[in-house]
Amino acid sequence: MNIKIYLFLFILLAASCNQSTGPAQQPGLISADSKIEATTDSYLSERQAFFGDLHIHSGWSFDAFIYNVRTDPGDAYSYARGIPIKSPAGTIKIKRPLDFASVTDHSEYLGVMMQMINPESPLYQLDIASKVRSPDRAQSIAAFGEVGTSIASNVPLDQLYDPSIMSTTWEKAVEIADDHYEPGVFTTFPGYEWTSSPRFGDDPENLYAANLHRNVIYRGNKVSSIPFSSFDSQDPEELWKWMEGEKSKGIDLIAIPHNANMSDGLMFPKETFSGRPIDRNYAQLRHDNEPLQEVVQVKGQSMSHPLLQTNDEFANFEIYAFTFAIGAPPPSRPEGSYVREAFGTGLQMGEQFGVNPYKFGIIGSSDTHNSGGTIEEDNYSGKFGGLDGTPGQRLASDSADAVVRFKYMSAAGLAGVWAEENTREAIYKALKRKETFATSGTRLQLRFFGGSDFRDLDFEDSDWVKKAYTQGVPMGGDLRDFNEAPAFLIWVAKDPDGANLDRVQIIKAWIDQNGNPAERTYDVLWSEDRELDTNGDLPPVGSTVNVPDASYTNSIGAVSLQGIWKDVDFDPAVPALYFVRVLEIPTPRWSTFDAKELGIEIPNTLDATIQERAWSSPIWYHPN
């Protein structure tokens, strides 16, 4: 393996030092100062990358239960720690354990479905209970339809809606999270999913619903007495107001939206849920309660769409542009459904209202409904267990809309977090200050800092990270009032059990002269002896994938990439943000492993290979 790396410095640091005249200007670094003291052996003051999943459903979620998942949150935490657990299609086991996790069962009908197999429960007698118990997949789907419709139309099924069951189940969930918390080794957070799925369209027979779901994650076991459910309100603003009330009681909680890609434009809307124009009040509530967005998971990624990012050759990655409308003719509208667009409109709104409602960091997570099994490409066992637990179920040639969707699900994702140690305190603080990155399932490590120049910082020195923290702000931070172009430091190490690195890009969003959001992608670091072509584009890295064998080799690509980049197009008067995207060399998609196992051709609508990737949280630049 003979690889050259280009440390890509657009402007040499020395040059920028020489240009400065007069006393050195001290530009503002705004860093959420939240250092914590060591409480475990795992402590590292320069922070370390932990990988976790903050979006897991067990059999306590109504939909998981209907699809025959019988595991509980304790099983889900065991799975995350590497212990094999039962699933409808056989035992599942993660190849590499996680560092932290939160089981986030749906708050709607929380724990209620379990009563349907309990002969002593009055719920056992219900019509829907016999459908839930039926081994027939059609019956399960019918039961799911009934419950799902009640959520979409926001009418609770009286027979099922039992707050006493829900609150007892919630208490147990919090207790289980506590039991599985092992400071320094494995961290758990109590949480649940608020499943707002507003209905659209006029067909009463069909479930036309958009995704406004949020996971509510608590720092510790001081939690709400009962979860806020979409039956309390489908309006995110009402959720935030409720959260404000909880915070005033000393409860620490955040909401993390996900699957903007399935929101039909409602995740990043032009007006509020109740039809008001977006105003400062809305912006403030959203900003304060939603520091993070989950952007990649089993139902695809929500960063980019080829119809929005028309010049980005890598935008078309794991697209899952459905709503919950099974068979609905219009797929989810891209406008208002993707994060990169929202990053731009957020800058605009920040100017307009003084608060940017979309000033969030990003993470990935799984959204498994089978207590596990959806993160690893070569160990993918489907989202629902009972419906898509085997390769045959997932790649079935069935043209029913519900089945077709399984093929487009993604073996993803993970939340990467830079924290001092593996404890609730340290990781939760990192989540709140947005020192996070999202990955499509890989465990590559990505550091990203912004500052004035990082002079005398040398990657060969062991103290470079300490210097980076002193001279700059990490991902999720803010830069204010610079006279000269800021510098950005990027460091990436490959996943030790994953593929080599292809390239590192910086994506910049800003407001153009006409007041409209603009965006540009820069290739800044890459592997191999490649040169930019006449259009300034970097040629592809190539591929080592053997498709029939579902294998690849790391004979191309880099082990690590690092460098410092300056923005030559910088305008000190213009609000902007910068984030990093890292691509790995191509590897086989999960469906390629499935096709090999089944001995069939890969369905022609699917890519045989993917480039696993990571995205950093942004660093924002404010003119004043």
Partner 1 sequence: MKLLKDPFIHFLILGLLVFIANGVFNRGDREEEIIITQDDISRLQSLYKQNWNRAPDSTTLNRLIDDFIDSEILYREALRLNLDHNDEIVKRRLRQKFEFLAQDLADLNDPDESALKDYYDAQIDQYKSEKTITFFHYYFNPDRQENPVDQANLLLRQLEAMIPEPSSDYGDPIHINSFQDKRSKWMVSRDFGMEFANTLFLNDQPGWSGPIRSGLGIHIVYISEVIQERTLSLEEVSDQVLSDWKLANREAVNANILDNLRKKYTVIRSYEK
Q: Using CB under 8 A, list all residues that contact partner 1.
A: 1-5, 82, 95-97, 121-122, 162, 164, 168, 225, 245, 248-249, 445, 459-460, 462, 493-498, 527, 558-560
Contacts of 356 (CB under 8 A, 6+ apart): 283, 287, 346, 347, 349, 350, 620
Closest separation in Å from C-beta 509 to partner 1: 29
Closest separation in Å from C-beta 57 to partner 1: 25
CB 301 within 8 A of CB 340: no
Q: Which is nearer to partner 1, 249 or 277 (CB)?
A: 249
Strand ranges for 178-266 from DSSP E: 187-188, 191-194, 214-218, 253-257
353, two tokens: 């209202």
CA dist., res. 278 & res. 266, Å (int) = 13
Closest separation in Å from C-beta 67 to partner 1: 26
CB 560 within 8 A of CB 581: no
CB 405 within 8 A of CB 608: no
Q: Which is nearer to partner 1, 11 or 493 (CB)?
A: 493
Closest separation in Å from C-beta 558 to partner 1: 5
CB 585 within 8 A of CB 556: yes
Look at strands 445-451 and 487-493 and give their pairing: antiparallel
Closest separation in Å from C-beta 548 to partner 1: 24
CA dist., res. 483 & res. 495, Å (int) = 38
Distance, first Cα to last Cα, the chain: 48
Q: Which is nearer to partner 1, 205 or 460 (CB)?
A: 460
CA dist., res. 493 & res. 468, Å (int) = 16
Q: Which is nearer to partner 1, 376 or 388 (CB)?
A: 376
Closest separation in Å from C-beta 168 to partner 1: 7
Q: Which is nearer to partner 1, 351 or 523 (CB)?
A: 523
Look at strands 445-451 and 472-474 and give their pairing: antiparallel
What is the Cα 481 distance to its own chain's centre? 31
Q: Which is nearer to partner 1, 122 or 392 (CB)?
A: 122
3-state secondary structure of 215: strand
3-state secondary structure of 387: coil
CA dist., res. 368 & res. 434, Å (int) = 23
Q: Which is nearer to partner 1, 89 or 255 (CB)?
A: 255
Q: Which is nearer to partner 1, 249 or 573 (CB)?
A: 249
Closest separation in Å from C-beta 231 to partner 1: 15
Q: Which is nearer to partner 1, 202 or 460 (CB)?
A: 460
Closest separation in Å from C-beta 169 to partner 1: 12
Closest separation in Å from C-beta 553 to partner 1: 13
Q: Which of 484, 521, 493, 487 lies closest to 506, judged by CA?
A: 521
Find the helix packing angle between 73-80 and 163-180, rounded to 10°.
30
Closest separation in Å from C-beta 184 to partner 1: 11
Q: Which is nearer to partner 1, 194 or 208 (CB)?
A: 194
Q: Which is nearer to partner 1, 345 or 616 (CB)?
A: 616
120, two tokens: 């002593």
Closest separation in Å from C-beta 226 to partner 1: 10
Q: Which of 490, 518, 441 lies closest to 616, judged by CA?
A: 490
**Number of CB atoms found within 10 A of residue 7's CB:** 12
